[in-house]
Structures are given as structure tokens and as C-alpha cells.
Amino acid sequence: MPNIASSAVKVPRSRIRELADIAMKMDHVLKLYFGESNIPTPEYIKRAATKALEEGYTYYTENAGLPGLRQDLADYYRRVQEVDLDPRSEIVVTASGVQALNVTIRCVLNPGDEGLVLTPAWPNAAANIWMDNAVPKEIPLLLRGDHYAVDFDSLEAAVTPRTRLLVYTSPSNPLGWVATEEEQEGLLEFARHHNLWLLADEVYERLYYQGPELGDPAPSILRKTNRDDPVIVAQSFSKTFCMTGWRIGWLVARRDLGEKATQLNEFIISHPASFIQRAAQAALAQGEDELRSMIARLKKNRDFCLAALRQMGGMTVPSPDGAFYLFPRIEGLTDSFAFCRKLLEETHVGLAPGVAFGAGGEGSVRICYAAEKGILEQAMERLARFLSKRLI
């Protein structure tokens, strides 16, 4: 009997999905375990998709995406990040953020290579490294006071002749950590010095609470780079425009990598659906106002949950500067999956176990606060009661 390839066997199961599978068999669960808001996609985006279908956007497009959408993305970067990009060679439209990770990691790793991943992190980058027959090495961020920070000493110690990639996510899922300017410069210097590709997952770019004005983006690494730097940005419409089910994103990369990713995508997805690319153009053109009101609402949710958790005691709750997660570290907790399972079964509150996010994650739980305020209030109340008689 032929076997499943070892590169596939090595990919671990998602522990978030494992928890969700239990929750989905239950009724009336307060679902805070997935990274998704319950806001539906705005109407103007849905209308743009329908209109595109009527206009005949039902055929193949360029592998890199519609030229108009790539131009709009270049304009977006100029407007939002003050960065100039060449839409023809440095931007590739992908079928989601995770597909951007998949194709770029595929482009830079050879079998047996190593990829450094800053953790705790959404597990998909590490899983993609495994899928390429390469090896992820997780380097935990350090909790200093109430903020996480990059551990440059551990990064230096982890580099070997096989290391070719460093992946980080800012704003971070699950930490809400946002790389400071010094950290961005340090990571870039580190990548240049060791000849590594630096892959920045910036899908939460617009969910940022520390800018001069609410709604300003987290500064992209692209502000620091020149176009010859070995830097890749993975991006998505999912979080910014409430489009998780549409599966559309993009990548920004040095020209040679952009060309290779475009070519490989021919054999993976060819390109995202044409009418959805048109809907993405509408999102970029008209999305700012709704986006800003969503961020204001998320900030209120964040502040509410942060205060509620800190009042419960028995945990350290780092201050998040972006994304829509809190990642409290619960005192004495050694099995976050068992904790989340018991919490789910006893109270119907669904959280993601910290162990799902790799090194440094065990002992914490992730709470997605993108739900309605009423749901968050109930969840915080039940969590407080559960913790007050905690047996785990």
C-alpha cells in the first residue's frame, strides 16, 4: 500500500479546530475560538460581486490578478502606508492570506531547509513550512511587563546554515502584539545579515489601536525596506473588510519572487475568482468609513474584555495594540486544551487553547473579542464564575 508523504504526515492537526469540532456538536455556544467577527460582509461589496457577475466577470483572469485590482492595491499602499509599489511586478492577488503564505513559502524553501517562526502564532505558517519538507523552528516572543518583545538573542542562537526564512505576524494573532519600529528594523537587519527571506504576515494591518488616529494602519515593514530587500508581505481582505468566506488576499514581494509566485499559482489556483476580485476593488474604493467604525467598536470590545479579565485576577493579561484577540496567561495552567474543553462543556464558552499557537502558547487561552458586546458580557461573566471555582 502506498503511504501518505512524510511531509504531509508531519503537519500537526489544528488544536483550534479540534476544540471547535467539539463545540459544533453542542447548542448555544458563545463562540470566541475562531478569528472572525460576526459582522456580515458590507452590502456594497456584495452588490459589487453581483454586478460583476452580471457584467461577465466569469472568465479566467491574469494569474497575478486583474491589473485594475493590482493598481488599486498599489494606490492603497500609497494612500495608507505612503509606500510606492510597482503593481505589475511586486503585487500578486491570491486566493486568501493563507494562500499567499502557501505560495511564498513554497517559493523560498528547499527540502531540509529551516524557517524561523516567531510564536505564539497562528499555526498556518509553520504548517506550510512542514508541507514543503522543511522544518519550522519556533522562537517565542518574551513577555516583558505587559507587552511582548522579540527575543533577538534566541533568534541569533537558532540560525544554522540551513536557515532561509523568518516569519512573523504583526499585528499578531494571538497576541495582539505589534512590532515596534526598532523591532522592525532589528528583524530586517537580522534577515539582511543572515541572508534570509523575511515574511511579514500583515493581515491585521488595519486592526490597530495605537496610531495617531483610530483607523490608521499599523506601520507596514514595507516602509522600512527598499525594493531589493528579501521581504515578503502576506495580506488579506478577510479581516479588514469582513470577507473571510470570499477567500481573497494578496502578497507583496521582491520582483523575482512576485514573478515566481505568479507562475506557481498557475498550478495551484491559477487566480482567485474573477467576480470576487471585482468585489475586492469595491472594498478598497469604498471601505474606509465602515472600516473605521468597525475599529472603534473593536476597541470598545477590547477595553471591556481587558478590564473584565484583569478584574478576575489569577492571570496576566498583556496589553494588545492590534488585531482582535486577548491572550491571558492563566496562573498555574499547564494544559490549556483541557481547560478550554472543560470551560466549553461546563459553561458553553468556546475559547482557543494557547497550546494551538506553538512555543510560548501553553498556559494561555485566546479570546477573540470581535463578537457582539452582549455575547462578550455573558462570556466574561461565565469565565469569571468558572475561574472562581477552578479545578483545572
Ligand X SMILES: Cc1ncc(COP(=O)(O)O)c(C=O)c1O
Residue 14 as a binder of ligand X (CB under 6 A): the answer is no
Residue type, 322: G
Interface residue with ligand X among 35, 123, 176, 219 (CB under 6 A) is 35
Residue (of 14, 144, 118) closest to 359 by Cα position? 118
The whole-angstrom separation of Cα 57 and Cα 165 is: 37
Nearer to ligand X among residue 98 and residue 291 (C-beta):
98
Residue 122 as a binder of ligand X (CB under 6 A): the answer is yes
- Per CB under 6 A, which of residues 191..220 are in contact with ligand X? 201, 203
Cα first-last separation, the chain: 44
State whether residue 62 is helix, strand or coil: coil
Residue 238 as a binder of ligand X (CB under 6 A): the answer is yes
Nearer to ligand X among residue 98 and residue 340 (C-beta):
98
Query: Residue 153: CB partners within 8 Å, gap ≥ 6?
Result: none
Pick the stretch among 45-53, 56-64, 94-102, 349-357 that binds ligand X (CB under 6 A).
94-102
Residue 361 as a binder of ligand X (CB under 6 A): the answer is no
The whole-angstrom separation of Cα 384 and Cα 377 is: 11
Sheet holding 325-326, edge to edge: 325-326, 365-368, 352-353
Residue 97 as a binder of ligand X (CB under 6 A): the answer is yes
What is the four-CA torsion angle of 386, 387, 390, 392, rounded to 10 degrees? 100
Shortest distance in whole angstroms from residue 34 CB to ligand X: 8
Residue 353 as a binder of ligand X (CB under 6 A): the answer is no
Interface residue with ligand X among 37, 81, 96, 281 (CB under 6 A) is 96
The whole-angstrom separation of Cα 13 and Cα 202 is: 24
Nearer to ligand X among residue 249 and residue 322 (C-beta):
249
Interface residue with ligand X among 14, 41, 244, 378 (CB under 6 A) is 244
The whole-angstrom separation of Cα 278 and Cα 231 is: 27
Question: Grid coordinates 519550522 are at which residue?
Answer: 136
Pick the stretch among 95-103, 131-139, 353-361, 369-377 that binds ligand X (CB under 6 A).
95-103
- From residue 162 to residue 181, the character string flagging contacts with ligand X as x (rule: CB under 6 A) and all else as - is -------x---x--------
Query: Residue 383: CB partners within 8 Å, gap ≥ 6?
Result: 309, 312, 343, 347, 349, 351
Shortest distance in whole angstroms from residue 143 CB to ligand X: 19
Q: Which residues bind ligand X (CB under 6 A)?
A: 35, 96-98, 122, 169, 173, 201, 203, 236, 238, 244, 249
